[in-house]
Structure 1
Amino acid sequence: MKKIQTPISDDVINDLKVGDKISLSGLMYCGRDAALPKLVKSIENEDIDRYPFDFKGMAIMHTAFSVAGIAPTTSNKAEIESSIPTLSKAGVKFHIGKGSLSCETKKSLKEYNSIFIVTPPLAALLTNNIISKKCVAYEKEGMEAFFELEVKDIPGIVAIAHGEFL
């Protein structure tokens, strides 16, 4: 198991390969259908200075945050998968979710030196690894707002890296 701390550097990405088991600690962000397209629009409009976070080295889990906790949603939903190239270009290094991604998205991950991590959809297990949480964007979206979580030892498996995939 490779222990990874955010923010994630290119050196860390370059050292990972498909099938590696990882344990992620530090700040992780979560967003899905409602928040991710809004982030992409802000990036495209060069309006990211208003956010209290930096995309560079970021890990984003494709999930909402509710009192039931977190568990990854399907990453190949149009609103989520279409956000991956732009977010990767902006500096996001880990996209954490479940499901398969298109060839085009796999190519964009390789182009921007980002990777796709799958993690088991076990809400209780993942929720136990959250140290703190706060809403950092799109509060009116409720549980689909964009949250910053401080996490310890979120498990995952590298599913797409450097043009290779499971």
Structure 2
Amino acid sequence: MKRITTPISDEEISSLKLGDQISISGVMFTGRDAALPQLVKLINEGKLDFDIEGTAIMHTAVSDAGIAPTTSNKEEIESTIPFLSENGVKIHIGKGMLHDETVEALKENNSIFVITPPVAALLTSKVLEKECVAFESEGMEAMYRLKVENIPGIVAVIGGKSI
């Protein structure tokens, strides 16, 4: 298993291969249907007040029940992946297959898509700290900054290839 700590560099991304088992530690953000389109809008308006360069975004909500990935190819989520990759996000974490256009956009921006087991108890046990950083009115679909240790995953999309 390859250990990754965010923020991650382009060189570290380039060292990964399709199918690599990884463990992610450091800071990651959360976002799904409600938050990610709003995040894109904040970036476009120059109003983002936290750094996403080299970060990971897990497609999940945050609730008292924990975290677990949602399906990443929902329009509201997948449509944001190319833009967020272009603007610094290096790792997108979720589940499901991505469209060919998204796979190509990840390649162009040296970003990856990682699948992780949808096991809330396991993933939640890896969260050391959480803080709402944007869109608090969205409730559990607000955007959170998580400090995590050893979130497991498998590189599912890299370099224009998909599992």
The answer as to whether partners of 1:84 and 1:105 remain within 8 angstroms in 2 is yes
The answer as to whether partners of 1:88 and 1:109 remain within 8 angstroms in 2 is yes
Where structure 1 has 5 or more consecutive residues not aligned to the other structure, the ranges are none
Partner of 2:24: 24
The answer as to whether partners of 1:43 and 1:86 remain within 8 angstroms in 2 is no
Question: After superposition, what is the alpha-carbon deviation per residue over 1:76-130, rounded to whole angstroms, capped at 9, x for unaligned?
Answer: 0000000001100010000000000000000100011100000000000000001
Question: After superposition, what is the alpha-carbon deviation per residue over 1:111-157, rounded to whole angstroms, capped at 9, x for unaligned?
Answer: 11100000000000000001010000011111000000000000000
**AA in 2 matched with 1:148:** R
Q: Trace 1:20-99 onto structure 2 (pairs within 5 A).
A: 20-48=20-48, 51=49, 53-99=50-96
**AA in 1 matched with 2:96:** G
What stretches of structure 1 move > 4 A for 4+ residues in a row?
Answer: none
Whole-angstrom CA distance in 2 between matches of 1:145 and 1:109: 24
Give the CA deviation at 1:2: 0.2
Whole-angstrom CA distance in 2 between matches of 1:93 and 1:4: 12
Q: TM-score, normalised by structure 2?
A: 0.98
Question: After superposition, what is the alpha-carbon deviation per residue over 1:10-38, rounded to whole angstroms, capped at 9, x for unaligned?
Answer: 01100001100000000011110010000
Give the CA deviation at 1:41: 1.2
Give the CA deviation at 1:165: 1.0
Give the CA deviation at 1:45: 2.5
Where structure 2 has 5 or more consecutive residues not aligned to the other structure, the ranges are none
Partner of 1:100: 97
User: Aligned match of 1:125 in 102, 112, 122?
Assistant: 122
Give the CA deviation at 1:46: 2.8
Give the count of matched residue pairs: 163
Q: Aligned with 1:106: secondary structure?
A: helix
Whole-angstrom CA distance in 1 between matches of 2:38 and 2:135: 9
Q: TM-score, normalised by structure 1?
A: 0.97
Q: In angstroms, what is the RMSD of aligned CA positions?
A: 0.7
